[in-house]
């Protein structure tokens, strides 16, 4: 993900001037062969294998930190205590205790911006769904479904890596990896789950270790979380799913909001296509379909009819981060911020409850 962010910085000219421009001045990775890729950048950033060296560089105002989950707490704390703004990766600590420590540290430093990476709501479709939710065009909520699907683990011969080991990825398994993608917009809408019944699946319990043997693959592959959330104090079913084994899917986020007055649906599988229905009582229930083009959170040079993709949404998210860091929450060019530490904490509370639900086969209140 470090290279993805470096790519977004390198083509900043793609965006219209937003009064602030990030420069990549220092990169850290413990693997020298990973650092070698950054030598292609011009101007080239300083390179180090020791993050303390990066934090001692007084040109560094903000740090994007993308490391395995068991390192989040220690590295994010180092960044915060060095006085830098932080764009953290999800899940924002390996477990609930780590997330609580990080939120407390972040909130003790109001002069530093702390946000958590979640780029999909910055897609044109994600933004349309968000505007539609903010305008409350749904009437009474019937049901909300938000799902994030990979098929990356369908092949049992795929060798293990850190994301498939609980010690490095966390007990949450796929929820820690992919859950925030599904939760960002529902949480921003105020639809915080009040209860959950989880069904977690461990479909591939061991994997090749890459050295001719096998190793236990002790993380949950798939998570289906049937939650109850409230809108206007009225309960509704909120279905959150995160799956590493969803046959045929690559990196699909699906959000569907059904309401008594209107419904809306967006999937990154058809990244141009927004579907919605405005329902008037007694009239036909007809869905409208619109090709979205490139309408962005932050305007870009792309013509309005050109489609966007993952790297564009990531750049839009980074723009929101640097806009907020430079201009403050009230001075931002547009109002949609990156995911907050409190939203990340709410995701941890849900994942922790989901683990308990799976253990006991019970509905867990939050």
Ligand X SMILES: NC(=O)c1ccc[n+]([C@@H]2O[C@H](COP(=O)([O-])OP(=O)(O)OC[C@H]3O[C@@H](n4cnc5c(N)ncnc54)[C@H](O)[C@@H]3O)[C@@H](O)[C@H]2O)c1
- Does residue 51 interact with ligand X by CB under 6 A? yes
Closest contact distance (angstroms) between CB of 29 and ligand X is 4
Which helix (H) or strand (E) segment is 203 a member of? none
- Does residue 28 interact with ligand X by CB under 6 A? yes
Q: Interface with ligand X by CB under 6 A: which range of 12-20, 64-72, 137-145, 300-308? A: 64-72
- Does residue 102 interact with ligand X by CB under 6 A? no
The correct pick among 16, 21, 30, 142 for binding ligand X (CB under 6 A) is: 30
Phi, psi of 13 (to 5 degrees): -60, -15
Give the separation between CA 184 and CA 165, rounded to whole angstroms.
25
Give the separation between CA 29 and CA 36, rounded to whole angstroms.
10
Q: By C-beta, is 31 or 157 nearer to ligand X?
A: 31
SS3 258: strand
The correct pick among 47, 67, 87, 257 for binding ligand X (CB under 6 A) is: 67
The correct pick among 112, 117, 219, 316 for binding ligand X (CB under 6 A) is: 117
Compose the 146-185 pattern: x for residues touching ligand X by CB under 6 A, - for all others: -------------------------------x--------
Beta-strand pair 262-267/273-278: antiparallel
Per rule CB under 6 A, count of chain residues that contact ligand X: 17
Closest contact distance (angstroms) between CB of 205 and ligand X is 22
Give the separation between CA 258 and CA 146, rounded to whole angstroms.
12
- Does residue 90 interact with ligand X by CB under 6 A? yes
Please, are residues 16 and 36 in contact by the beta-carbon 8 Å criterion?
no
Which helix (H) or strand (E) segment is 355 a member of? helix 341-360
* Beta strand spans in the chain (E): 26-28, 46-48, 62-65, 85-88, 114-116, 141-149, 195-201, 206-208, 214-216, 222-231, 234-243, 252-259, 262-267, 273-278, 288-291, 364-365
Q: Interface with ligand X by CB under 6 A: which range of 23-31, 121-129, 204-212, 228-236? A: 23-31
- Does residue 343 interact with ligand X by CB under 6 A? no
Closest contact distance (angstroms) between CB of 31 and ligand X is 4
The two structure tokens encoding residue 256: 């569907």
Please, are residues 341 and 107 in contact by the beta-carbon 8 Å criterion?
yes
Compose the 119-138 pattern: x for residues touching ligand X by CB under 6 A, - for all others: x-------------------
Closest contact distance (angstroms) between CB of 292 and ligand X is 20
Q: Please report, as ranges, the residues that interact with ligand X according to CB under 6 A.
A: 1, 28-31, 34, 51, 66-69, 71, 89-90, 117, 119, 177
């Amino acid at each position: 993900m470090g290279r993805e962010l470096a790519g977004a910085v390198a083509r900043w000219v793609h965006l219209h001037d937003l009064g602030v421009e990030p420069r990549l001045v220092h990169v850290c990775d413990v693997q020298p062969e990973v650092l070698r890729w950054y030598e292609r950048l011009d101007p080239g950033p300083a390179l180090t294998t020791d993050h303390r060296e990066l934090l001692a560089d007084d040109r560094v105002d903000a740090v994007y930190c993308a490391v395995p989950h068991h390192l989040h707490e220690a590295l994010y704390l180092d960044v915060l205590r060095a006085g830098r703004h932080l764009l953290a990766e999800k899940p924002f600590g390996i477990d609930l205790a780590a997330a609580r420590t990080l939120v407390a540290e972040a909130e003790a430093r109001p002069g530093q911006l702390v946000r958590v990476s979640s780029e999909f709501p910055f897609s044109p479709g994600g933004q349309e769904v968000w505007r539609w939710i903010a305008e409350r065009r749904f009437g009474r909520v019937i049901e909300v479904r938000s799902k994030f699907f990979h098929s990356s683990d369908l092949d049992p011969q795929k060798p293990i890596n850190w994301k498939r080991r609980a010690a490095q990825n966390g007990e949450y398994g796929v929820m820690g990896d992919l859950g925030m993608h599904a939760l960002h917009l529902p949480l921003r809408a105020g639809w915080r789950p009040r209860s959950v019944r989880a069904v977690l699946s461990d479909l591939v319990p061991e994997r090749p270790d890459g050295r001719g043997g096998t190793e236990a693959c002790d993380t949950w592959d798939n998570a289906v979380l049937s939650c109850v959330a409230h809108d206007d104090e009225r309960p509704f079913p909120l279905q959150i799913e995160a799956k590493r084994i969803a046959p045929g899917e690559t990196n699909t986020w699906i959000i569907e909001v059904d309401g008594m007055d209107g419904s809306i649906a967006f999937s990154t599988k058809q990244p141009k296509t927004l579907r919605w229905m405005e329902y008037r009582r007694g009239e036909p229930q007809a869905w409208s379909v619109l090709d979205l083009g490139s309408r962005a959170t932050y305007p870009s040079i792309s013509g309005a009819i050109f489609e966007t993709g993952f790297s564009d949404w990531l750049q839009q998210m980074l723009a929101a981060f640097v806009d907020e860091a430079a201009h403050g929450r009230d001075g931002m060019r547009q109002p949609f911020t990156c995911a907050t530490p409190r939203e990340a904490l709410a995701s941890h509370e849900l994942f922790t409850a989901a683990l308990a639900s799976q253990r006991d086969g019970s509905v867990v209140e939050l």
